[in-house]
Structure 1
Amino acid sequence: MKQADSLALANAQRNLDRAFKNYFSKRMGYPKFKTKNNTWQSYTANNQKNTIYLVGNQLKLPKLKSLVSVNLHREVFGEIKSATISAKNNQLFFVSLLCLEEVFPLPKTGKAIGIAYCPKHLVQLTSDRSLPVYECKGVQHRLKRANKKLELRAKVAKKRAVVVKQAKNYQKQKHKVQKLTVKKNNQKRNYIDQLTHLLVHEYDSIYLEENPHFIDNTQFFRS
């Protein structure tokens, strides 16, 4: 317990209290407790007395004597309030910084647009303009091959009477599959972020059109 940040433990307790309050008020279901075997592990540390700060591409975190090298994908503005550190399978690590900054309103364009979902495109606009479905064919093809190779690794381990958790070749291939899956999800998320950025900056008002021929766009979720 002494090795953990006290504020991180307090945040965990606060999250637990909030989860049970939401459950008893019937806003959410029963809380799901994390175990050490969960794929995702995370904790949140508060910035108290400048215990969290950036020095170039290095981040200072509470309870750590040395700086941690980070790959910044965007510039950090404003005052850092907290940092949430997440780990996936103890192999991929991420940090999300909560910052307090002044947000200025976007310039007015005087335009309004209606949007609707359709099976052929991701979004159909009332201006007869459509936003296409994202196709990550390159990563999807590599992921398909990697999954087939993972199945072969599992068969070889089973043939040799080796538990997959102890099969080194299987674990290496599993790590490759996980990296490709994360890459595919990141590409899809980035595509959606770019589309929303485009719509928000180009139009002042965006409203949802009623579409009687609404069909779930399964093509998007397959790609």
Structure 2
Amino acid sequence: MLLRKVYRFRMEPTQAQAEALLRMAGARRFVWNWGLARRKEAYAATGKGLTYNGQATELTALKKRPEMAWLREADSQLLQQALQDLDRAFKAFFERRAGFPRFKTRKKDPPRFRIPQRVRVEEGKVYLPKVGGVKIRQSQPIDCVIKGATFKRDTEGHWHVTLTAEFEMPDVPLPPVNPEHVVGIDLGLKDFAVLSDGTRIAPPKFYRKAERKLRRAQRELSRKQKGSKNREKARHRLNRVHAKVRNQRQDWLHKLTTGLVQKYDGLCIEDLNLKGMAKTKLSKSVLDAAPGEFRRQLEYKAVWYRKHLVVIDRYFPSSKLCRECGTIHTALTLSDRVWTCECGAVHDRDLNAALNIRAEGIRAIPVAVGHPETLNAWGEGVRPTQRRQSSSNQESHVL
């Protein structure tokens, strides 16, 4: 099985190299706008659109014009890639997965371009056509075959290279696991995550902690005259605060997900309705916690480390289900952090949810010989009966 892996490094170009990168990004933006304009003109004249192959032929003729000689300073594959991106944008529009492609401006579109081939990394430098070797901060070795590279300048003015590599993964079933090495994870806001083994992970709240600096930077930006150099400086200061929050969150999530995947052989999580949660009054806290990014990292790292990952249905009543007797308490509210079941069992809301998620996830994981499936205290499966389950289909899990 062929999988992809992405490396991202910060570049340290010289002034001449930075100018060359900007020229290549400008060429990519020009070709995109030219290709979009040609498609609109052709459709208005004939009622039919243009294909990528047809536009690639026109691009070759365009570069031969004397006034377009500057396009030959950019890599040819870079310009062709811009037309391929435009073609994919139109396909996404016709399939109703995205809006109609728009023209790109220098102010709104960050400098970026992609080269599918002829990019290599050697001795702490990335080599790309027309520019040469650019020094990078290579934090880890690249042990895979590079299949493409994307170059982009962030809002702080720093260039980064994103290298897409491929590696071979054995296409064999995952081995059975010991249930003791399976963990259930209940995500929330009071605690970012509560594990079925009792571990509680506090939310870092990087955005909340930086709100004071953000307000101050935004206030300074709003007071500067539009188009002035001071406004540009204030914008860079605001971007640096946002970048720090983003980098802190990404670093914390990567360390957390890598540690979980390395420690446990099976991980069970819930399929939360993140889009709906982001529209509530708790949206700022939900977006600050980034549960969607947490799940995305768990998914691909579980594949890399060959671990089991089970996603439980979002309508499974993990918080309202008593793990001792199987009763579903539909009247449970968000403020009920500790509740008592009719059978006498006292439950911590989040820990009970994590244990129920783990028990439900174990049903989808092959268990090693000699380790029976986990049962509740009454000797029955923790999955509620069909009658109880159907009555809870309208009850979504509340964080």
TM-score over 0.5 (shorter chain) = yes
Residue 86 of structure 2 is aligned to residue 25 of structure 1: no
Instruction: Choose from 237, 260, 263 the match for 1:199.
Output: 260
| Match of residue 185 from structure 2 | 115
| Match of residue 57 from structure 1 | 124
Please state how far the C-alpha of 1:99 moved relative to its aligned partner.
1.6
Residue 249 of structure 2 is aligned to residue 188 of structure 1: yes
CA shift in 2, pair 1:219/1:62, >3 Å: same
Residue 215 of structure 2 is aligned to residue 147 of structure 1: no
Residue 227 of structure 2 is aligned to residue 165 of structure 1: yes
CA distance, structure 2, for counterparts of residue 121 and residue 84 of structure 1: 37
Residue 84 of structure 2 is aligned to residue 14 of structure 1: yes
| Match of residue 392 from structure 2 | none
CA shift in 2, pair 1:10/1:195, >3 Å: same
Superimposed CA distance per residue, residues 9-40 of structure 1 (whole angstroms, 9 cap, x where no aligned partner): 22222222222223322344434443222242
| Match of residue 176 from structure 1 | 237
Percent identical pairs in the alignment equals 26
TM-score (norm 2): 0.45
* Larger proportion of helix: 2
Please state how far the C-alpha of 1:97 moved relative to its aligned partner.
0.7
**After the TM superposition, which of the residue ranges 29-38 and 11-20 deviates more from structure 2?**
29-38
SS in 1 for 2:72: coil
SS in 2 for 1:67: strand
TM-align CA RMSD: 3.1
Matches within 5 A, 1:15-94: 15-47=85-117, 51-64=118-131, 66-89=132-155, 91-94=157-160
1:122/1:133 contact within 8 Å kept: yes
Instruction: Tell me the amino acid that sits aligned with residue 86 of structure 1.
Output: K
CA shift in 2, pair 1:74/1:210, >3 Å: closer
1:52/1:60 contact within 8 Å kept: yes
1:121/1:131 contact within 8 Å kept: yes
Q: How many residues align?
A: 207
CA distance, structure 1, for counterparts of residue 215 and residue 252 of structure 2: 21
Please state how far the C-alpha of 1:108 moved relative to its aligned partner.
8.2
Which consecutive residues of structure 2, in runs of 5 or more, have no partner in the other structure? 1-70, 290-399
CA shift in 2, pair 1:109/1:218, >3 Å: farther
CA distance, structure 2, for counterparts of residue 143 and residue 210 of structure 1: 32
TM-score (norm 1): 0.76
CA distance, structure 2, for counterparts of residue 207 and residue 7 of structure 1: 43
